[in-house]
Amino acid sequence: MKQSSDILLSLKNISKSYNCADSDLSVLNNFSLKIDRGEFVSILGPSGCGKSTLLKICSSMIQQESGTVKISGQIVNSPDKSRVLMLQDDNQLFPWLTVEKNIAFPTNSFDSIRRESDLPNLLEMAGLSNYSDYYPHQLSGGMKKRTALARALAGDPEILLMDEPFGSLDPKIKIKLQDFLLEIWGKYGMTVLFVTHDINEAIRLGQRIIIMSDSGDIVCDEKKSLSEKSTLYEDVFFKLYRKYYSLLTGIGHQ
């Protein structure tokens, strides 16, 4: 039995529908979920199952029609700096600010959430020390992602809500960024909800894997049964891959 104090994010009976062509399309229906503090949760599911909607509701960027979102037991209704939403788009970075100023944006917007002195550390950790005065359009795709991650960290969030952040990258850069994300997760210990279409990525990153059906229900929610050192090439990894693949494709063809 979980101690209630471990639970950071709690969604209860969330429902959300969109109005499409004069009819309501329900994406989440009485959806409930609890996430522990410090967990890294991968969320897989077919397109349109409500994964992105779920993240937007968690960040209060959109409002649910019914149900409650609680952070540390408190109901939340409006966006705040403790829950940073990261979208797939590269253009979340501001083109008119340099890398350094983009990363410092959360600290300038507030009364220094994370100390200014952390900025050089963030730049260094993201491997961007030599690019601090570059503008986003001068960076590669991977560097943009690292800048966006460093900016998200500068605000010292409790929860990172990531919507397919590495979707458009080539596999080599993707793996590097996954390692980078795991490294900062290990260092800062924030809670991560990571939405992806990539089963490999979900297994590699998540401590806990959630699979949603295309009706928006949870069909699998389990702790990853892999050792820390398991790699993409081990049998146990493939077993998990096959299991999730069949769950996902089975759902997709229903």
Binding another protein (rule: CB under 8 A), the pick from 110, 116, 171, 236 is: 110
Q: Which is nearer to another protein, 128 or 247 (CB)?
A: 128
Q: Shortest CA distance to 124 belongs to which of 108, 100, 106?
A: 100
Nearer to another protein, 50 or 165 (CB): 165
Paired tokens of 236: 């146990």
Length of the chain: 254
Exposure b/e, 153-178, CB count within 10 A at least 16 = b: bbbbbbbbbbbbbbeebeeebbbbbb
Helix, strand, or coil here: 219?
Answer: strand
| Using rule CB under 8 A, residue 115 touches another protein | no
- R_g of the chain computed on alpha carbons: 18
18-26, 44-52, 68-76, 84-92 -> range binding another protein (CB under 8 A): 84-92
Structural contact between residues 202 and 196, judged by C-beta atoms closer than 8 angstroms: yes
Query: Pattern of binders to another protein over 6-25, x per CB under 8 A?
Result: --------------------
Among 10, 12, 80, 198, binds another protein (CB under 8 A): 80
Site for another protein in 154-183 (CB under 8 A): 155
| CA nearest to 204, candidates 168, 243, 184, 233 | 233
134 binds another protein (CB under 8 A): no
Contact status: 52 vs another protein (CB under 8 A):
no
- Where does this chain touch another protein (CB under 8 A) — which range of 21-29, 81-89, 175-183, 221-229? 81-89
Question: Per rule CB under 8 A, is residue 135 in the interface with another protein?
Answer: yes
Binding region for another protein (CB under 8 A) out of 41-49, 85-93, 203-211, 223-231: 85-93
Check residue 81 for interaction with another protein (CB under 8 A).
Answer: yes
Nearest to 106 by CA among 128, 84, 125, 86: 84
Q: Does 84 bind another protein (CB under 8 A)?
A: yes
| Token pair 């769950």: residue | 247
Candidates 20-28, 76-84, 123-131, 183-191: pick the segment binding another protein (CB under 8 A): 76-84
Point out which residues pair with 209 in neighbouring strands.
Answer: 42, 222
Provide the CA 57 distance to its chain's centre, in angstroms. Answer: 13
User: Can residue 94 be called a binding residue for another protein (CB under 8 A)?
Assistant: yes
